[in-house]
Amino acid sequence: MRDDVTTNSIESVWALLKRGIVGQYHKVSIRYLNRYIDEFCFRYNHLKNLDVFNLTISKAIGAMV
């Protein structure tokens, strides 16, 4: 084992995804699995961003224009 390499980050990502599926969606469709994963990757990447709501809205509005 190397001291500078851990699996904590990927375990956190999977935990967030599993909690979201069980707690929010209850089940997922294989057809849209990539969209669920994209959503939880976005959430994980913006955990420390306190203004994530405004960022999400601005991206949604920007995507519609």
pLDDT, tens only, 1-59: 566 767 777 888 888 888 888 888 888 889 998 998 888 888 888 778 778 788 888 88
Dist CA 28 CA 1 (whole Å): 36
DSSP 26: S
Q: What ranges do the domains of the chain cover?
A: 8-64
pLDDT number for residue 57: 85
Strands (E), the chain: none
